[in-house]
Amino acid sequence: MTNVAQPFVLTLTCDDRAGIVAAVTSQLHVLGANIVESSQYWDRATNRFFMRIAFNPSGETSADLIERGLAPVLGQFEMQGRLIDCRKPQKIVIMISRFDHAFLHLLYQIRVGWLDAEVVAVISNHDDSRETAAWAGIPYHFLPINRENKKKQEDRIFAIVQETEADLVVLARYMQVFSDDIAGRLFGKVINIHHSFLPSFKGARPYHQAHEHGVKLIGATAHYVTADLDEGPIIEQETERVSHAMSVEDFVAAGRDIESRVLARAVKRHLEARVMLNGRKTVVFA
């Protein structure tokens, strides 16, 4: 299924000044583009300007022609720009450990057409989901990790991402910490679902941590992966009320649905180029 609603998306960021929107939209008009959605945000604290424009090209205008036509405007405002051709599904690699609820939810959302993506590989440090991947017709890479082989296995992960030309890596409850090296090499291309309402309860066993603290809300957070565990720029979050009468197992059960929804929304927004990095934060044009 292709995303015909918004064939091309242009994202821009630069220091704010007058005339940016006029210059960009005028040049797109000159290039024959018909704008279907436009969002912008000025971060007062940093004076950074962010813009997302979705448009239909005229006739057989190529991405190269658009990029060449926009280059003078991007140079004039010293913009960092990115042009995404959304006419074909983007490729994702999904990484999992034992819990597969978020993984299965992604497959379902792709099957029903809500998520416009192609899963080009599943990578896991456990063999539990091999049959699920085979049923879905997706190549499965079983890469168990330990202290001794971590570098070799992470090089294999990186190679799979490169060989499949994946646009995004999704950690769907993948429970191994990425080394600083691969986290840096893939920065901005890896989304993780953490099973807590960050910044509370980073690290392992967040539901146990939350239960120990007697919280009245649990949650899930989708964020970009960085070297600092569960500290990456937040993309999407959701919470749900819990009570004193609930066990940790009740927290885990309630959390499964939240984690699945939050991760799927974050992946969708990333693939539609609605998420822009803003320092340690993000701008999300919902």
Catalytic positions are 230
Which residue lies nearer to ligand LMY7XDAE by CB, 87 or 151? 151
In the list 6, 124, 192, 237, the residue contacting ligand LMY7XDAE (rule: CB under 6 A) is: 192
Residues 6+ apart with CB under 8 A from 240: 217, 218, 219, 254, 255, 258
Burial class (CB in 10 A: 0-12, 13-18, 19+), 114: exposed
Which CB atom, from 230 or from 236, has the smaller least distance to ligand LMY7XDAE?
230
Pairing of strands 217-224, 234-241: antiparallel
**Residue 227 interacts with ligand LMY7XDAE (CB under 6 A)?**
yes
Tell which one of 104, 229, 252, 254 touches ligand LMY7XDAE (CB under 6 A). 229
Residue list 70-129, contact with ligand LMY7XDAE (CB under 6 A): none
Tell me, residue by residue from 148 to 187, as one string, x for binding to ligand LMY7XDAE by CB under 6 A and - for no binding.
Answer: -----------------------x--xxxxx----x----
Residues 120 and 234: their CA atoms lie apart, in Å, by: 25
Partner residues linked to 192 by β-bridges: 171, 223
Residue 3 or 226: the one with the smaller Cβ distance to ligand LMY7XDAE is: 226
Contact status: 232 vs ligand LMY7XDAE (CB under 6 A): yes
Q: Is 230 a binder of ligand LMY7XDAE (CB under 6 A)? A: yes
Site residue total, ligand LMY7XDAE (CB under 6 A): 17
Residue 258 touches ligand LMY7XDAE, criterion: CB under 6 A: no
Min dist. Cβ of residue 1 to ligand LMY7XDAE (A): 30
Q: Closest CB to ligand LMY7XDAE among 33 and 171?
A: 171
The residue among 119 and 234 lying less far from ligand LMY7XDAE, judged by its C-beta, is 234
Region 198-217 residues binding ligand LMY7XDAE, contact defined as CB under 6 A: 203-204
Q: Which residues contact 139 (CB under 8 A, 6 or more apart)?
A: 120, 121, 122, 133
CA separation for the pair 260, 247 (Å, rounded): 20
Interface ranges with ligand LMY7XDAE (CB under 6 A):
171, 174-178, 183, 192, 194, 203-204, 225-227, 229-230, 232
